[in-house]
Amino acid sequence: MHHLTFDLTDSSDGILTLEAMASTREAQHAAVLAEVEQVLAWARAEFHGRQGPVEDGNAWDHELLVQQEAGGWVTVTLTFSASAEFAEAFQAAFGADDEDD
């Protein structure tokens, strides 16, 4: 990954949050979206059929937010709700900083 940076946070309910974010100029936006698609393709392949609300027993779910900013900047945020199993596999595949350490 060249554009997305990852952070991992834990919650008291056992559902982890993985957040990938990039803020780039419009010219790099397509590259950022390609990285987003790479991460989502990995999640779909590795945890096929296990996407949905984690509190209902699924491994992962996600939300993608794209915001146009002033001055030609675009901020992309990809947020995963994740089981511990998904978060561990995600960290092994892409790396993520654990904010609780």
pLDDT > 60? residue 101: no
Confidence (pLDDT) at 29 = 95
Domain residue limits, the chain: 5-98
CATH code of the region 5-98: 3.30.70
pLDDT band at 1 (very low <50, low <70, confident <90, very high): confident
Q: What is the pLDDT of residues 21-57, one digit of tens each?
A: 999 999 999 999 999 999 999 999 999 999 999 999 9
Question: Is residue 23 within 8 Å of 78, Cβ to Cβ?
Answer: no
Q: What is the pLDDT of residues 54-72, one digit of tens each?
A: 999 999 999 999 999 999 9
Concatenated DSSP letters for 9-67?
E--TTS-EEEEEEEEEEGGGHHHHHHHHHHHHHHHHHHTTT-BS-GGGT-SEEEEEEEE
Handedness of CA 92, 77, 58, 39 (dihedral sign): negative
